[in-house]
Structure 1
Amino acid sequence: MQLLVFILIYPFLWVISRLPNRLLYGLSDGLYFIIYRVIGYRRKIVRNNLLLSFPEKTFAEIKKIEKEFYHHFCDIFLEMLKTMAFSQKEMQQRMVFPNKELLNIFFQKRQSFIIMCGHYNSYEWLLSLASQIPHTSYALYTPITNRYFDQFIRNLREKFHSYLISRYRAIEEIRKQQHRGELCAYGLASDQSPSDSPKGYWRSFMGITVPVFTGAERIAKQFNLPVVFCDIQKVKRGYYEATFTIISQEPSLTAKYEITDTFTNMLEAQIRKAPQYYLWTHNRFKHAKIHD
């Protein structure tokens, strides 16, 4: 059944990847109407997330952000498929890293490092950095249940020389690589919503108390890997610019949760600047502690 579903859907994905930009974004506009207006895909979650995050905004302002988000959501989905048809040259024109030289410091020091980012703007295209830096690049990901679509996504994400590591065996793989002395860049989208364990780390995010993912900090401290934040900004439709800021060069010397707090504050500032580009379909506040 998994193979049949993949065989039926794949031809449509292939055709979409070959569409010229004008048709691609025309399709995106049509998809927006279906996803937002007709189906209302996760609209309750999106609206609730926005209302919780921006209590100071009027309902009209919330609706405007909501509509802009769904337009962007459709864009990045189709842009991900468009990766199938991109050459490396075209990818480098669409996803630009103005200060990627900052990362060369770690190569010169013979250090691996961690890139932390949120599900903001074209986080999928961040993987194209792998073809532009000397480190071997890895991204932690959650495998898809359908193994054929899982392989399809792996092929897309690894097209420009990055590699994926299942989050279920990340520590084991990283330990092996660091033991061998490999120079690696590890990318982690660190704004997931972890379990609501009372022993976890809870803090404010967008003004709401929630459990916060600390995996990147724990890996950084365990192997003393420098950490950088990636800020991805949208230049125009289909074009993005990503810049890097060092969070910590010596994680083993930082206070507990210092790296996580710094990342969360930077992500929140990014979201408040242009909230329509954050992935609001994630139920980020499902474990929130709401105070009257």
Structure 2
Amino acid sequence: MPITELCPVRQQDRFLYALMDQLFRGFGRLSWRKLDIIAGALYKLLYSTWGYRRDLVRRHLRQAFPDKPEPHLTQIEKDFYQLFADWMMEVCFMHARDWDAVRERFEIKDLHLFHEAHARGQSVIVAMGHQFNWEWGGWIVRKDTTKPILCVYLPLSGAAADKFFLDLRGRYGSEMLPLGKMGARLVRMRSETHTLILMADQSPSDLPRAYWTAFLNRPTAWHGGLERSARLLNYRVLFVEIVQTARHKYEAYPHVLTDDPRSLPEGRLTELYAQALEASIRRAPHNWLWTHNRWKHSPPAS
């Protein structure tokens, strides 16, 4: 399905889209030294001047790490905002450059975990979290595996930004799949080996169908898409952990959660994913998107 059909842009948004395109492309052509200078200014704007969602981030960190002293939490907070600013520059770089330029800075380890499943005719789910830089990760998966890629997405609130990121993510042939159409599309794909990419840590909108499990010291609602899609076609499910190795450089490590999701009790796959993501966050707490209002829902009364 063409991107324009997925995300129709009204006439009044076309100018904003064109502006974003030129601005991101212009920044992306700069050297890393200049991008780092801009990222430093962005960090000061986001953290100190504007204080973008800083109260929310601070509350999340205190709840997730109650035993850490306040100076330690403040340092995690600052490191996160610096990474957030770097991420913006990395998206600009991604928009202006090709796959090879990004590939030099992002490596996926243990690709055999994809290939051996595909070789036996089993499709793969890549269950990611919002760890930096997840945008680069989606690109590299597409180019490092030979099977079709379906990338599930939730629309952004602004039409111009939504279309911009859809174009960016689908640039190398990934099929961008709206969450609401995922089930029907997967049924049609059941005879074709493929890879499905899910950002599985997003807050669910359909609470009656959500799964609840402990995560970072709080009851947390999880979207049921991972669980239901995995059972539908009995995928191999990989949690892909992204680790920053240097500034603007990353490695991704896939971990097998299950090869037979239908054999697991309902909700167990969600628990396995939540446990894997939490362990990764605890290893590098600054490397997750704390600005996302992940705990806006309260658990149902028992």
- Who is 1:202 aligned against? 212
| Aligned equivalent of 2:258, options 228, 248, 258 | 248
Is 2:153 aligned against 1:141? yes
Aligned-pair CA distance for 1:144: 3.2
Decide whether the 8 Å contact of 2:152 with 2:196 is kept in 1: yes
- Who is 1:177 aligned against? 189
Question: Residue deviations 1:49-91, cap 9 Å, x none?
Answer: 1111011111111111111000001111220121122222222
Is 2:281 aligned against 1:274? no
Identity of aligned residues (%): 29
Q: How does 1:56-67 map to 2 (within 5 A)?
A: 56-67=67-78
Residues 90 and 200 of structure 1: CA distance in aligned 2, closer, same or farther (over 3 Å): closer
Aligned-pair CA distance for 1:281: 0.3
CA distance, structure 1, for counterparts of residue 163 and residue 19 of structure 2 = 16
- Who is 1:168 aligned against? 180
Decide whether the 8 Å contact of 1:80 with 1:124 is kept in 2: yes
Moved more, 110-119 or 8-17: 8-17
Is 2:19 aligned against 1:19? no
Partner AA of 1:112 in structure 2: S
The residue matched to 1:204 in structure 2 has which SS?
A: strand
> Structure 1 length normalisation: TM-score?
0.93
| Aligned equivalent of 1:86, options 97, 104, 110 | 97
- Who is 2:241 aligned against? 231
Decide whether the 8 Å contact of 2:24 with 2:96 is kept in 1: no
CA distance, structure 2, for counterparts of residue 199 and residue 71 of structure 1 = 36
Decide whether the 8 Å contact of 1:144 with 1:150 is kept in 2: yes
Aligned-pair CA distance for 1:145: 4.5
Aligned-pair CA distance for 1:203: 1.7
Aligned-pair CA distance for 1:183: 1.5
- Who is 1:41 aligned against? 52
CA distance, structure 1, for counterparts of residue 227 and residue 209 of structure 2 = 16
Aligned-pair CA distance for 1:143: 2.2
Moved more, 115-124 or 208-217: 208-217
CA distance, structure 2, for counterparts of residue 249 and residue 99 of structure 1 = 16
The residue matched to 1:182 in structure 2 has which SS?
A: coil
CA distance, structure 2, for counterparts of residue 222 and residue 196 of structure 1 = 19
Partner AA of 1:74 in structure 2: A
Please tell me the root mean square deviation across aligned C-alpha atoms, in Å. 1.6
Residues 183 and 284 of structure 1: CA distance in aligned 2, closer, same or farther (over 3 Å): same
Aligned-pair CA distance for 1:147: 3.8
Question: Residue deviations 1:29-58, cap 9 Å, x none?
Answer: 110001111111111111111111011111
Aligned-pair CA distance for 1:195: 4.3
Partner AA of 1:274 in structure 2: A
- Who is 2:143 aligned against? 131
* Unpaired runs of at least 5, structure 2: 1-11
Moved more, 231-240 or 189-198: 189-198
Partner AA of 1:31 in structure 2: L
Aligned-pair CA distance for 1:216: 0.5
Question: Residue deviations 1:208-239, cap 9 Å, x none?
Answer: 11222231111111221121110110011111
Question: Residue deviations 1:154-203, cap 9 Å, x none?
Answer: 2211223322111121111111121xx22110011111122484664222
CA distance, structure 1, for counterparts of residue 70 and residue 158 of structure 2 = 39
Residues 227 and 82 of structure 1: CA distance in aligned 2, closer, same or farther (over 3 Å): same
Question: Residue deviations 1:240-287, cap 9 Å, x none?
Answer: 101111111111111111111111001000001110011000011112
- Who is 1:193 aligned against? 203
- Who is 1:154 aligned against? 166
> Structure 2 length normalisation: TM-score?
0.90
Residues 212 and 150 of structure 1: CA distance in aligned 2, closer, same or farther (over 3 Å): closer
Decide whether the 8 Å contact of 1:114 with 1:187 is kept in 2: yes
- Who is 1:217 aligned against? 227
